[in-house]
Structure 1
Amino acid sequence: MIVKLESENNEIQRSRLLLARARQQCNTPKVWMQSVQLEREQGLYQQALHLSEEGLKEHPSFAKLWMIGGQIHMEKSPPELLEACAGI
Structure 2
Amino acid sequence: MPDVPDLATAVATELAKQIPIKDAYSDALSPGMKQTGAAIEDITKTLRLALAPFQVGADFKTVCHGLSTNLYAEFQKNEGRHHRRKF
Quick check: TM above 0.5? Answer: no
Whose helix proportion is higher, 1 or 2?
A: 2
Structure having greater relative contact order (Cα 8 Å, sep ≥ 6) = 1
TM-score by length of 2: 0.23
TM-score by length of 1: 0.23
Q: Is the radius of gyration larger for structure 1 or structure 2?
A: 2
